[in-house]
Amino acid sequence: MRSSIATVCISGSLGDKLTAIADAGFDGYELFELDLVTSRMSPEEVVTRSADLGLSIDLYQPFRDFEGVAPGLLDRNLRRAEHKFELMNRLGIDTMLLCSNVGTATCPDDSAAVDQLGSLAALASRNGVRIAYEALAWGKFVSTYEHAWRLVEQVNHDALGICLDSFHILSRGSDLDAIATIPGEKIFFCQLADAPLMNLDVLSWSRHYRLFPGEGSWDLADFVARLVHAGYRGPLSLEVFNDVFRQGDPVVTARDARRSLVLLEDAARAARLPLAALQSSALDGLPAPDILAGLPRVDASRGFSFIEVQPGAGTAVDNVLVQLGFTHQGKHQRKNAQLWSQAGVHVIVNDDLTGPRPRLAALGFEVSNVQRASARAIALRSHLLPRDRAIDEDILDGILAPDGTEVYFSERDGETPSWLAEFGTGGSVPTTVPTLPPTGITHVDHVALVQPWQRADEAVLFYQSVLGLAVSDGLDLASEAGLVRSRSLVTADRGVRLALNVTPLQPETTEVYLNHIALHTDDLVATVSELRARGARLLPIPQNYYEDLDARLDLGAELVETLRSLEILFDRDDRGCFLHVYTMPIGQLFFEIVQRTQGYDGYGAANAPVRLASQRAEERRRPTD
């Protein structure tokens, strides 16, 4: 289906917006009145610019509050409409959106609205345009799509149809079955927005919290499938505005938007309810629109293939890895990168690129087919990272996540990751640190990535779509440095867990929000005892924490004493327990060592304020590095 987006979704001047919309691969756009009024481009220049960019102008939304008014006001409204129809002709736009009256309507009965919409339709027809009438969820007398459709049906004019907007319909919890009763050709337009579930007045919800499909809570695939089933063949158009997009980079927002629509179309095809219809004649008349056809979802459940840290900052990272029981495996054939491993956990320390402080630079995920995973990522509007590749190197395609993390796909060659061959086993250990025995690390439990708040929703969509992860939960954490929103993305078998921690709004406080790598052990007490014996620097935990733990949970004096003496944090949920410790930060990252028992499914969020306070206290103590 054709893709479209309202100019109001993104920031910048009209020229900026059109460039970004074309860049992201949209077919057309809805022109928002204010974007034209504030522009120095004349209508004719807008037409030329759009044609140059290959964009159609699908809809114009010049005014509201038309129908159900007193006769005198009707005349003024018709006069205004005629002005706008002339403008639409100059712009070459054939469809005008008319929202149901929220302000000036004074006639509650349908007959006045029918008469007045009829007059408008006749005027539109004479001017060669048509009207798509849409019920706003907070419309004064018309607030449901069923009601809007009854009016349109009664007017019964070729130049009047309806516009179905997912926000206005789903925010009211309307029954969607009536969509099937509307003839497809009378559905003139379709606007799509997702939203988080909120108990907020619907106007504020709409103004500040709309999201692109897949970033909120609604089943938009079902909504779209119903429209197609009803015979709708117009564009799928995004009308999403929130406080973040209004301020974001237009190119980033447009790409995020396009990604959401690609995924939505894919999901709509797979939607259960109208599956029969979609597979049969209902889709016959459509051009092949499926960008993702033949590109099955990526299954990242094979787990983390590697984690790359750069730079090593001399021996700082190596020292911690050695203490954690990692063994040096070799040096990369061409790069200044060292591989450290323990029980199938691979950490690459890359000194090819220098930076001020070590950071988590890349995550490798094992997939069944790298080429297909990459093709899907490209279809989802991600760009492959440039990567010089030796002829004998593994195919290892990378894309950039919104948070700046590089994400690589890799395959497995029998028991070993195929990229492993790139590391010569004969490479000498790069440091003088002696190798120590393993400490019981079994696998990567999770990776926690800090998300800039203005790109957090985009990141959730990115990781879901490109890696096939699912959102498992979300929570707010109040720490002494601000409010941290957290969302967890997982594979069904929990082989991959990503914890996305959204930074607070005020940038000065982000310095303690570091990425971290959580490693699992089956016996944290033993692992930590060994680490302490090795002199590892673990994050200090206040004694007050253990007094409170003792008061809160019936753990028994012995366990509390063990936890206290080793400064291990403890949490539990309905299923099991979670014990964890943190290393001191190394640059912009740190390690966590965890033990997860009996199906515990969280991340010790209750203890996060303790960690953040302790990191902040350490930050103050140590000299600036």
Computed from CA positions of residues 152, 155, 157, 159, in that sequence, does the dihedral angle turn out positive or negative?
negative
We find the least distance from the C-beta atom of residue 553 to a second copy, in angstroms, to be: 9
Q: Is 592 annotated as a binding residue?
A: yes
Q: Is 165 annotated as a binding residue?
A: yes
How far apart CA 474 and CA 457 sit, in angstroms, is 12
Question: Which residue from 158, 201, 511, 625 is in contact with a second copy, where contact means CB under 8 A?
Answer: 201
Residue 289 has which token pair?
């629109």
Residue 48 near a second copy by CB under 8 A:
no
Stretch that binds a second copy, among 5-13, 109-117, 131-139, 339-347 (CB under 8 A): 5-13
Residue 12 near a second copy by CB under 8 A:
yes
Question: Which residue from 2, 25, 39, 327 is in contact with a second copy, where contact means CB under 8 A?
Answer: 39
For the CA atoms of 80, 82, 88, 93, the dihedral, rounded to the nearest 10 degrees, stands at: 110
The neighbour count for residue 545, using CB atoms within 10 Å, is: 19
We find the least distance from the C-beta atom of residue 418 to a second copy, in angstroms, to be: 42
Residue 123 near a second copy by CB under 8 A:
no
We find the least distance from the C-beta atom of residue 340 to a second copy, in angstroms, to be: 33
How far apart CA 383 and CA 380 sit, in angstroms, is 9
We find the least distance from the C-beta atom of residue 616 to a second copy, in angstroms, to be: 7
Nearer to a second copy, 335 or 485 (CB): 485
Residue 387 near a second copy by CB under 8 A:
no
Size of the site for a second copy (CB under 8 A): 63
Q: Is 530 annotated as a binding residue?
A: no
Residue 617 near a second copy by CB under 8 A:
yes
We find the least distance from the C-beta atom of residue 471 to a second copy, in angstroms, to be: 19
Instruction: Kindly report the backbone phi and psi dihedral angles of residue 77, in degrees, each rounded to the nearest multiple of 5, phi listed first.
Output: -65, -40
We find the least distance from the C-beta atom of residue 206 to a second copy, in angstroms, to be: 13
Residues in the chain: 625
We find the least distance from the C-beta atom of residue 244 to a second copy, in angstroms, to be: 8
Q: What burial class does residue 622 get, using C-beta atoms within 10 Å of its C-beta: 0-12 exposed, 13-18 middle, 19+ buried?
A: exposed
Nearer to a second copy, 183 or 507 (CB): 507
Residue 243 near a second copy by CB under 8 A:
yes
Stretch that binds a second copy, among 22-30, 112-120, 146-154, 504-512 (CB under 8 A): 504-512
The neighbour count for residue 314, using CB atoms within 10 Å, is: 11
**Chain centre distance of CA 441:** 31
Residues of span 422-461 touching a second copy by CB under 8 A: 454
How far apart CA 61 and CA 78 sit, in angstroms, is 15
Q: How far apart are the first and last CA of the chain?
A: 53
Q: Is 67 annotated as a binding residue?
A: no
CA distances (Å), 217 to each of 86, 194, 356, in order?
Answer: 40, 7, 40
Residue 484 has which token pair?
């941290």
Q: Which long-range contacts (CB under 8 A, 24 or more apart) does 150-156 make?
A: 150/110, 151/67, 151/110, 151/113, 151/114, 151/117, 152/117, 152/186, 153/186, 154/110, 154/114, 155/114, 155/117, 155/118, 155/121
Nearer to a second copy, 12 or 576 (CB): 12
User: What are 56's strand-pairing partners?
Assistant: 28
We find the least distance from the C-beta atom of residue 84 to a second copy, in angstroms, to be: 6
Stretch that binds a second copy, among 176-184, 260-268, 441-449, 479-487 (CB under 8 A): 479-487
Residue 556 near a second copy by CB under 8 A:
no
Residue 482 near a second copy by CB under 8 A:
yes
Q: Which one-letter amino acid corresponds to residue 555?
A: L
Q: Is 308 annotated as a binding residue?
A: no
Residues of span 300-359 touching a second copy by CB under 8 A: none
For the CA atoms of 83, 86, 91, 95, the dihedral, rounded to the nearest 10 degrees, stands at: 90
Nearer to a second copy, 201 or 493 (CB): 201
Stretch that binds a second copy, among 238-246, 279-287, 316-324, 461-469 (CB under 8 A): 238-246
- 543-552 and 557-566 helices cross at what angle (nearest 10)? 160
Residue 544 near a second copy by CB under 8 A:
yes
Binding mask 73-92 for a second copy (x = CB under 8 A): ---x--xx--xx--x-----
How far apart CA 168 and CA 186 sit, in angstroms, is 18
Nearer to a second copy, 377 or 563 (CB): 563
How far apart CA 529 and CA 533 sit, in angstroms, is 6
Closest CA to 578 of 568, 588, 587, 590: 568
How far apart CA 261 and CA 4 sit, in angstroms, is 9
Contact assessment for residue 89 and residue 129, using Cβ atoms and an 8 Å cutoff: yes
Residue 220 has which token pair?
């938009």
Q: Is 332 annotated as a binding residue?
A: no
Nearer to a second copy, 393 or 550 (CB): 550
Residue set of the binding site for Mg(2+): 446, 516, 592
- Footprint on this chain of a second copy (rule: CB under 8 A): 8, 11-13, 33-40, 42-43, 62-63, 76, 79-80, 83-84, 87, 198-201, 204, 207, 241, 243, 246-248, 454, 476, 478, 480-483, 504-507, 509, 540, 542-545, 547-548, 550-552, 554, 609-610, 612-614, 616-617
Residue set of the binding site for a divalent metal cation: 134, 165, 191, 239
